[in-house]
Each structure stands twice: as C-alpha cells, then as structure tokens.
A and B are shown apart, each in its own frame.
Chain A
C-alpha cells in the first residue's frame, strides 16, 4: 500500500483539515471582530482552494482502483469530486454572506468559519466514503459542527431551540443509521461497500434488508425526506440565516450523493428492494413539501418546505436506479444549489429600516417597486423552483422526469409532475405578493455588496442564460455517475 498515493488522493481533505486547525488556532488568539472577519475570508479562500484541487479529478473522470485510498476506505473518484465541488462552493458562499449578517446581530466569532470548514471536511468524507465506517465518521463530523452552527446565536432563543431540536433528532437519525449498519455488518460480515455488494449479490437476506431499510431511514433524516422531515422547517427558521443557507445547500448534496453511493455500490444488486423505498420517500416528499408550504407565512419556513419538495424530485432521479438517473440527480443538485443559495441570500437582503431581518411573506408586498432587482432575483428563484421553463430550474425537473420515464417509472413521473403544480401555487404566491400587491414599505434597509453580487451570480445561473450550460453540465454529470456503475 502506497501511503503517498493515499495522501495524495485525499489532498483536498488534508488541506482543509490543516487549514481548519490553523484557523482554529488563529481564532483562539484573535478574539476581535476584525479578526473574525479576516478568518472568515481566509475560510472562503481555503474552501475555494479545495474546490480547485478537486476539479481535475472530475475533468479526468478518475474512477475505479486508481481512486481508492487507505486500503479502500476512501475513494477520490469523479463522482465524489462532482459533489465536493458543489459542497465546497456552497460552504464558501454561506461563509461569504455571514459577516454582514453577524455584524448586525452580534455574536460573531472566529469559530464560525472554522466550524463551517470542519463541516465541509465531514461532507467531503461522506461523499468519498466506500466503507460504512468512513461514512459514519464523515457524517458525524459534519453533524457535530452543524449542531453548534444552528445554535450559534447564543442569545437568541429560536437559534438555541433550533440547535437543540437538530441535535436530538440528528442523534436519533444517527442511531437509526448505526443500527442499520450493525445489522448489515451482522448479516454480510463486512463494512466495505464492495464486500457488502459481493455478499448480497446472490440475494438480499432478511437481516440485510432490515439493515438497509434502517440505514435508508437514517439517511432520509439527513436529507429531510418525508416521513423524516419534521425537523426541517423549525431548524431552518430558527437557525441564523447564513447557517440555514448552508444547511439547505451543502449537506443536502453530501447526504444525497452519499445515499446514491450506498445504494448503488453496496446494494446495487438489490435495486428492486431500495427502489420502492426511494420512490415512496420521493413522492411523499414532493406532495407533503408542496402541501405543507401553502400555509406558511414565514419565508424561511416556506423555503424549508420547498427544499423538502426539491429533495423529492432529486430522489426521483435516484429512484430511476440507472446511470441516467444518478446523472439527472447530479444535474438537479447542480441547479438546486445556486437556486437555494440565491433564495436565502435574497432572504438575507430583506431588512427593515433598523436593519432587522424581515421574514414575513406579507412584508414583501410591493417589493418589485421599492427594490426591483431584489424582487427580480427572488422572483427568478421562485419561477425556477416552480420549474417554469425559460428559467433553468425547469431543466433539473426535466432531466429527472426523463430518467424516471426511461426507467419505466412513467406513473410516478406523472404523479410528481402533477404534484409540482401544487408547488407552483405557493411559489406564485410569493411572486404575487412582490409584484401585484401594493407596497408595504417594510423593506428599506441597505444591502451589502457581497450579498448583491452573490445573488446576481446565482440568479444569472438560474436565468435563461443557464441553458448554455446544459451540455457541459450533462457531460460532467454523466462522467460522475458513470463511476458508480463502472464499479459494479
């Protein structure tokens, strides 16, 4: 075993770990606001640097044994690289928007960027895991950082509540996951994905089926798929908005990509068994996410339900259980991340005269006249999430439907499509409030430049200009998804 080779393959994670530790030390010494700010921007740079390091892996389409490190515990292949790029960029974006927010709310400390960097390492481990143990360690590293982040505003009751809820339910989910893993280990005798695949190749035993089901339940918690979605609106609403921005983007990518790897690499031969579970979770998420959002009056809760709804569509891609399906899922994720980032950045920009965050949807009334560009940005997010063509969000839904139809899930695609009309209703509600209602004059605060730029970039990506990317995105996603199926 070539240790240098392993270290080289895990270089982005090592770079992040060392940088994270250095930043931690820096934050221990520099306690001022200015120091925190500097550490924050260093964190952004570190994450972008790590992104640059994984890009070649994706472009070269690295796969198979060449990607395996540490005796097959860790795989730095193109699939992981695709997910990592999204994760690091999303984490960097959530970091970039945080100083302006915390400067108004106080309580900003250097630990914040450090925690985000550690969470990103955890997520990178999750998507690279080819072994149940690596998977669990990565997941917990991410989760522990996330619990603290949710409760980061110590003085705010809602934030503390969000942290506690997230912790209790997250621990429960981890319990499910561990139980499932132990069952799987007991019935297959191994914790390596390829070993599990070999042991279940002849057919899934009852015990292994139980194990797989429990593992999927635990993972469903992490991706907030119905019926394990209850924590999402509360945590999204309570957590500080930059943290919510992170929660809604990067961990979703990590958990979904990890789920895809587990079901295709470890349980690839038992597709029929997990397919029905994924379909059920997918359709339930789409419907419940859409129905639940209708009565929301808080924009963050609305976006939380919308993320549940979106996860449903992503799972539909996974349910196709084909390379096209995984590829569709990745394309959807690549569109979903900027869409969500834009949504939450726009929420961050909604402030009243005193600089307090405005979260009630009714206060957005007439935004198109007081802040036309902000309204246009948030409006594009809403139309894009509703999947109305010309906006790029449609493309995500389209490829997912296409993959589902190709795999013979015609009926489920139809059900999902019809349910998306329900979803369109509440997205339209936001548009209606912004564009049709008389101005409420609530939103008067000035925006920060970073927010404006980030919103502009994301909005441009999900605008019709995004169509330019369909070919490149499709090709990259195909390379990434091909990795998972080459192994089996």
Chain B
C-alpha cells in the first residue's frame, strides 16, 4: 500500500466526490466529511512513513499512461508539508460549510475535486501532469465562487478564472519548450538540468507570469480580494490556505532550481514588487470596512514576505518562507473561519456592525485573538518563526529590502489589532450582535485543531522544519553558483573572554 499511497490519496476524494453528486444533501455532508477524514488519516500515515533525512524523493510511482507524459508521483519534504496542510484544512472546510443550503451535493463534490487537485499539484513529478492539476483547479474554484458566493460573485468568478488562466497558459508554452529542449518531462531531472542562461530568462518570466498571479503578487493581486470576499467561508479558507501556496510552491519547485541564473537576474523585480506589496497592501488593509477584504489584503502582504524569503538565496530565507506559507495557510484559514462564524450569525462582514464580542462570545474572542496574534507574528505562534527567518534571510542579501519588509510586521500589527479592537472590544453597539451565542461544538472543533497546530509550530517548529531541511539545503546548493552578493557582509563576532563570568553573574541575578 505504501508505494501507492499518493494515488490512493487522490482516489479517495474522487470516489467521495462522485458519491456526493448522487446522494441527498445530508448524506453528501457525511460522505464528504468521511472522505476528507480518510485522506487526513492517509496524510498522517504518509508523514509517519516519510523518512526524514532519507532519499530526496519518496513514495515515487510512475506509470507511462499517456502519450508524451506519465502518471508520475512522488514527494520531497516540501511537498509533504504542503500536502499535510491541504488534508488538514479540508475536513475543517467541510465542517465550516454547514450554512450552505443549496445544491449541497455538488458543493461537496466541488470541494473534494479541489482536494484531489491540490494534492495532485504537490505530488506530481511530471511537468505536464503538474500543469493539468494546476490548471484544472480553476474549474471547481470557479464553480464554488460562482454558485455559492456572495452578491457580486459573477464578476469575482470571471476575474479569478481569466486572470489565472492567462498567467498559466504562458507557462504551458514555456513548459512545452523546456520538455523539448531537455528531452524529458521528469521534474527531478529538470531540476538538475542547466538551461542556457538566455533561455532561462524567458522561461523564468513565463513561469513568473503564472506564479505571480497565483501567489498573488502586487500588482496582479486584484483578483484575490474580490474572489475572497465573494467566496463562501470554506472557499476562502481553501483559497487562502492552500491555493495561494501553489504560487510559492511553483517558485520553489520550478523557478529557483530550474532557472537559478535567471532567478538571480530578476531578483530585483521580485524585491521591488514584494516591497511595494508589503507597504501598499498593508495600508489598504488598514482602511477596509469589510473583514474578509482586510484579511485578503493581509494575505497579499504575507505572501510578499514569502517571495522575499524565497529570493534571498540562503537557507534561512527559504526555510522561513516555507514556514510563512504553512503558518499563513493555517492562520488566514482560521481567520476566515472566525469571520465565517459571526457571518453565519449576523450575515454581514462589515466591521462596524460588530463590537464588544468578547462580552457575549468569550471563547470566540479567545480564538480570534490567538489567530490575530499569530497573524501579527507574536513570538510563540507560527507567524513569528516564519517571519523572523524570512527577514533574517533577506537581511543577508539586502538590508534595505529587509528594512522595508520589516515595516510589514509593524503595519500588520496595526491593522490586525485595529480589527480585533473594533470587533471584540469596546461597547456592544448593536443589540443583534450582542445577542449572538458563543461558539457551538462544531465551531469549536473547527478552530481548536488549527489553534493547536499554530501553537505547536510556534513553540517547536523543528517538527515542521526537519522534513524539509535536506531539500532546502539541496536547493541552496543548487542556487549557490548564481547567488548574488549581499550587502550585509556578516562576520561572526569574537567571543569575549569573560563571557562565562557574565553568564554566571546573569544567572545569579
């Protein structure tokens, strides 16, 4: 079974999805929950059997099913963590979909298809298989936004679809060229293949067009707030939690290892766009009146930290951006769930309609505060680990970029705390908001696991960093030849003679 576990993880949601289409609403909910839980269990088995520090690619399968490309799956530590994130969030999304009343079977089927495609993207080891999973994700997400979304859902669904399609179709042409040039579609082989530097620059731009839209990077991020605001709660969670990670995963799997020289060549572009994103979208977030929009803009800012970390060309930056991705997946997913909880009660996302929720919903306020703090990057939460490492990484490369990106942390604290104050503290302005009941068991079950994961990642990140350490090191080694020179010129300090003495004194105080 272990050699086919990845295929099995793809098969479970597929079967579940087909069943969901055929059965009545209530059964569909149960089936979907069961399917996602089975996949979660398989995910746990996968992690337990993943040999940390072992072979680079594990659980490989390859069947030459198609003409020109193969059904080739396999994961390294990076893919493992992102798959775990996906299977972890999916049952929570299904639980969060209780308020969906219309066309439940199709809704659940769309979500299960989404899960299949997300796992497929991270597990694919064939260039074109990856593309198929990557692109096919548009269909269920388009339907989720368009059918079950909010008032302005049509516009948002079109924008989401066409933006992302335009980005990835350019990447397809680049992939075809690469496959022809290198004579293989095998991703691990391509990661070692040295393309001519001139070609790399074009290919890098083509991949950038796709990943920048998916990420999303400023200024092609405008589909995100629309899509987030209009999508149903669970849709936002998946969008923020996993779909955005596809962009980062693309950079770390394709752009960086396949085109190291081009990555160094265009690093300035990434820096400028990311710095602009951090500052501009944070400021935009500060003035939002809609909770979901605020969190959506904060996502763009966090993703900018990811790209900065990725292009810092050192281990800290790369590890940091991976942790930010995981942390952001959990935290922003949880924040959207928090919005969903009160949206289900009052059917508005307007911040000014709420106030003083900590009085009537103390449990809710506690969870919301934890996730707010994690989003801000408070030490002890997952957000801190990632942001600290990313900023440390980029500081080695460019202190100016680190400086500007650092303001994101401050601005992040500003808009998140401001949001929290307006929603949870202060007077209870509206009677209906004040009468809302506290978390139900179901909602508690949704938020508690994420809270536990956020704290775990904040207190003992080693669990999550160990599986990817060797992969990051391999990537770092691959990038070494193209690495631009940083401006920090850090040198190790001279330890002073009386350090020991000091320590003893310190201990005595």
What is the interface of chain A, defined by CB distance below 8 A to chain B?
A: 369, 383, 388-390, 394, 398-399, 401-402, 405-406, 410, 413-414, 417-418, 420-421, 424-425, 428, 431-432, 435-436, 467-468, 470-471, 473-475
A417 near B153 (CB under 8 angstroms)? Answer: no
Partner of A421, one of B65, B153, B165: B165
Does chain A have a CB within 8 A of B157? yes
Secondary structure call for the A interface: helix
Tell whether, in the assembled complex, residue A471 and residue B170 are in contact, meaning their CB atoms are under 8 Å apart: no
CA A432 – CA B162 in complex, angstroms?
A: 13
Of the candidates A388, A402, A417, the one whose C-beta lies within 8 Å of that of B139 is A388
B180 / chain A contacts, CB cutoff of 8 Å: 402, 405-406
Measured between beta carbons, the chain A residues less than 8 angstroms from B147 are 435-436
Stretch in B130-138, B374-382, B396-404, B471-479 with 4+ CB within 8 Å of A: B130-138
Question: B339 interface residue, CB < 8 Å from A?
Answer: no
B161 within 8 A of A: yes
Tell whether, in the assembled complex, residue B172 and residue A421 are in contact, meaning their CB atoms are under 8 Å apart. no
| Residue from the list B67, B153, B154, B169 in contact with A474, Cβ < 8 A | B67
Whether A428 contacts B142 by the Cβ 8 Å rule is yes
- Tally of contacts, chain A with chain B, CB under 8 A: 84
Smallest distance from the beta carbon of A413 to chain B beta carbons, Å?
5
Q: Tell me, in angstroms, the Cα distance from A421 to B138 when the chains sit together.
A: 13
Flag whether B146 is at the interface (Cβ < 8 A).
yes
Contact with A along B74-104 (1 / 0, CB 8 A): 0000000000000000000000000000010
- Structural contact, B177 and A435, CB atoms closer than 8 A: no
Cβ A474 vs Cβ B131 within 8 A:
no
Q: 8 Å CB contacts to A: which residues of B48-89?
A: 65-68
Contacts of A390 in B (CB 8 A): 132, 136, 139
Q: Chain B nearest CB: distance from A63 CB in Å?
A: 21
Q: Which B residues are CB-close (under 8 A) to A417?
A: 169-170, 172-173
Tell whether B158 is near chain A: CB-to-CB under 8 Å: yes
Query: How distant is the Cα of A335 from the Cα of B173 in the complex, in angstroms?
Result: 21
User: A388 and B138: CB pair below 8 A?
Assistant: yes
| Residues of B in contact, count (CB < 8 Å) | 31
Question: Is there a chain A Cβ closer than 8 Å to B8's Cβ?
Answer: no
Extra pairs beyond A394-B135, A413-B173, A432-B157 (10, CB < 8 Å): A369-B103, A401-B176, A414-B173, A417-B170, A421-B169, A428-B161, A428-B162, A432-B146, A435-B147, A471-B65
Let me know if A421 and B154 touch, CB within 8 A.
no
* Chain A: CB-nearest residue to B105: A372
Q: Bound complex: CA of A424 vs CA of B180, how far in Å?
A: 27
B143 beta carbon closer than 8 Å to chain A: yes
Main SS at interface, chain B:
helix
- Contact indicator A467/B66 (Cβ below 8 Å): yes
Hey, which chain B residues are within 8 Å of A431, CB to CB?
142
A72 vs B143: C-alpha distance in the bound complex, in angstroms?
Answer: 55
Q: A425-B162, A428-B161 are in contact. Are A410 and B138 (CB under 8 A)?
A: no
B166 at the A/B interface (Cβ < 8 Å)? Answer: yes
Can you list 12 A-B pairs, Cβ within 8 angstroms, ordered by A? A369-B103, A390-B139, A401-B176, A405-B176, A406-B180, A417-B170, A418-B170, A431-B142, A435-B143, A436-B153, A436-B157, A468-B65
A383–B139 contact, CB under 8 A? Answer: yes
CA distance A474 to B153 in the complex (A): 40
Minimal beta-carbon separation of B208 from chain A (angstroms): 15
Known contacts A417-B170, A467-B65, A470-B67, A402 near B176 by CB under 8 Å: yes
Residue of A nearest to B69 (CB): A470
From residue A79, how far is it (CB to closest CB) to chain B in Å? Answer: 19
CB pair B131 A421 closer than 8 Å: no
A389, A473, A474, most chain B CB atoms within 10 A: A389
Per the bound structure, the CA–CA distance linking A414 and B139 in Å amounts to 22
Interchain nearest-CB distance for A414 vs B (Å) = 5
Please, which residues of chain B bring their CB within 8 A of the CB of A425? 158, 162
Complex: A383 Cα to B138 Cα, angstroms: 11
State the Cβ distance, B445 to closest chain A Cβ, in Å: 31
| Max chain A Cβ within 10 angstroms of own Cβ: one of B66, B68, B165 | B165
- Report chain B residues within 8 Å CB of A414: 170, 173
Instruction: Across the interface, name the chain A residue whose C-beta is closest to B169.
Output: A417
A401→B172 contact, CB < 8 A? yes
Is B65 in contact with A388, judged by CB distance below 8 angstroms?
no
Cβ–Cβ contact A388 & B136, under 8 A: yes
Among all A-B residue pairs, the 7 with the closest Cβ atoms: A474-B67, A390-B136, A389-B132, A470-B67, A417-B169, A470-B66, A436-B146
Which residues of A lie under 8 Å from residue B131 when comparing CB positions?
389
CB distance from B19 to the nearest CB of A (A): 16
Known A-B contacts A402-B68, A413-B173; the reply to A435 vs B146 at CB < 8 A is: yes
Contact of B169 among A402, A418, A471, A473 (CB under 8 A): A418
Q: What residues of chain A lie closer than 8 Å to B135, measured between beta carbons?
A: 388-389, 394
On chain B, the residues within 8 Å of A369 by CB distance are: 103
